[in-house]
Amino acid sequence: MDIVWQILIAVFIVILTALVILKLYVESIKGKCTSDVDLSGKVAIVTGANTGIGFHTALDFARRNARVILACRDLVKGQMAVDKIQEETGNKNVLVMKLDLSLMKSVREFVKLFEEKETRLDILVNNAGMAGLPLTKTEEGFEVMFATNHFGHFLLTNLLMDLLKKSQPSRVVNVSSLAHNWSKGIDFENLRAEKDYSIHNCYFDTKLANILFTRELARRTEWTGVTTLCLHPGPVNTKLLHDAFNPVLKPLHPIAAACFVKTPEEGAQTSIYCSISKDIEGVSGKYYVDCKEAEEQSSEMSKDMGVAKKLWEISEQYTGLAENN
């Protein structure tokens, strides 16, 4: 029995040592935005900003004196976030506006109200996202996850493009994920779950769509003064990560969070960097990780401009944007 206990203790020590080493490694590669840029006079929108990395992105912009609009589905939670940001920064130029990205009608209403109130837009951070959802269709016929993660942001960005061009140099920042590498390729005949549905494949495809959208938008806005970037924030301890965990593996979430995962504030650093850093002025269509360009970490599919163009054209049709042009 003594030998068994000695073996168990030895195994525990080895595992603990490995976790400590891995934790130190993860800490060493975390990127941090060190820019001292002041955003006085600038206007920024951050979608899904009531919690997680969106909240900390908005908080950072507010600290830099920007006028910040938290575009949130839940106005109560959004106002709580606004109150907290105003209290921490002293910036009273922070507000919440209703936006449900799964409904194109809500996107259009948001843009109409925004344009009535604002005369410029310098930074648009398409941050909101969903993961781990069972198949759910909206009243407009969209699958909720793809609508929220891609179609809503596609329509939002395009409807705000005139203001972004007017305010140039301006930036559009799309929050993607390393998970795009696990996409098997976007099925253009199944973007609204017409044939079948896989929780994980749908999420992977939406994250691939974020990068393809970034690259095609960059191509279409070349020489306009609007630059577009996308990023992987890293594994971040948010509700999104928790929801993405397989139910069988959910008990491991606290361990993963403690050892391998960034805090929401750390996870927001690359979003902030892509939004404000002077080091990347004029750069467009690129993929970033830990505040560094990381094209080598994006899949070959995410660089296929033919697929990007096709996704754009179908997105125009599905969201009704084609009717605006």
Residue 245 is predicted with a pLDDT of 45
Query: Could you tell me which residues come within 8 angstroms of residue 208 by beta carbon, excluding any fewer than 6 positions away?
Result: 176, 180, 183, 186, 299, 301, 302
- Is the pLDDT reported for residue 259 higher than 70? no
- Is the pLDDT reported for residue 99 higher than 80? yes
For residue 18, give both structure tokens: 């490995």
The CATH number of 31-323, from 3.60.70.12, 3.40.50.970, 3.90.870.10, 3.40.50.720, is 3.40.50.720
- Name the residues annotated as catalytic: 203
Using DSSP bridges, classify how beta strands 292-293 and 286-289 pair: parallel, antiparallel or unpaired: antiparallel
Confidence of residue 296 (pLDDT cuts 50, 70, 90): very high
Residue 235 is predicted with a pLDDT of 84
One-character DSSP codes across 113-143: HHHHH-S---EEEE-----SPPP-B-TTS-B
- Calculate the alpha carbon distances from 44 to 117, 157, 252 in Å: 13, 13, 36
- Is the pLDDT reported for residue 247 higher than 70? no
209-244 pLDDT, tens digit per residue, is 999 999 999 999 999 999 999 999 998 765 444 444
Residue 24 is predicted with a pLDDT of 53
Q: Cα(first)–Cα(last) distance of the chain, in Å? A: 77
Confidence of residue 322 (pLDDT cuts 50, 70, 90): confident
120-177 pLDDT, tens digit per residue, is 999 999 999 999 889 999 999 999 999 999 999 999 999 999 999 999 999 999 999 9
Q: Sheet containing 170-175: which strands, arranged edge to edge?
A: 94-98, 67-72, 43-47, 123-126, 170-175, 226-232, 286-289, 292-293
- Calculate the alpha carbon distances from 241 to 36, 46, 132, 133, 254 in Å: 30, 19, 9, 12, 11
Q: How far apart are CA 220 and CA 309, in angstroms?
A: 10
Residue 136 is predicted with a pLDDT of 94
Q: Percent helix, strand and coil across the chain, each rounded to 5?
A: 55, 15, 30
Across the chain, mean pLDDT equals 90
Provide mean pLDDT across the span 281-287. Answer: 96
Asked if 126 and 149 count as a contact pair (C-beta separation under 8 A), the reply is no
Query: Could you tell me which residues come within 8 angstroms of residue 3 by beta carbon, excluding any fewer than 6 positions away?
Result: none
Confidence of residue 22 (pLDDT cuts 50, 70, 90): low
For residue 227, give both structure tokens: 């630059």
In 3D space, the residue among 46, 33, 92, 83 whose CA is nearest the CA of residue 65 turns out to be 92
Provide mean pLDDT across the span 12-18. Answer: 66
In 3D space, the residue among 43, 228, 82, 85 whose CA is nearest the CA of residue 153 turns out to be 228
Kindly report which listed range (72-76, 258-262, 267-271) carries the lowest average pLDDT score: 258-262
Residue 133 is predicted with a pLDDT of 87
- Is the pLDDT reported for residue 197 higher than 50? yes
Q: How far apart are CA 268 and CA 94, in angstroms?
A: 18
DSSP state of 148: I
B/e letters for 128-151, b = 16+ CB within 10 Å, e = fewer, are: bbbbbbeeeebebebbbbbbbbbb
Phi, then psi, of 124 in degrees rounded to 5: -120, 115
Name the burial class of residue 288, with classes exposed (0-12), middle (13-18) and buried (19+) by CB atoms within 10 angstroms of its CB. buried
- Is the pLDDT reported for residue 26 higher than 80? no
- Calculate the alpha carbon distances from 186 to 123, 180, 205, 206, 303 in Å: 28, 11, 6, 9, 13
- Is the pLDDT reported for residue 40 higher than 80? yes
- Is the pLDDT reported for residue 255 higher than 70? no
50-63 pLDDT, tens digit per residue, is 999 999 999 999 99
Above pLDDT 90, what percent of the chain? Answer: 79
Above pLDDT 70, what percent of the chain? Answer: 85
Provide mean pLDDT across the span 62-77. Answer: 98
Confidence of residue 81 (pLDDT cuts 50, 70, 90): very high
Which SS3 state, helix, strand or coil, does residue 67 take? strand
Task: Report which residue type is found at 313.
Answer: E
Residue 241 is predicted with a pLDDT of 46
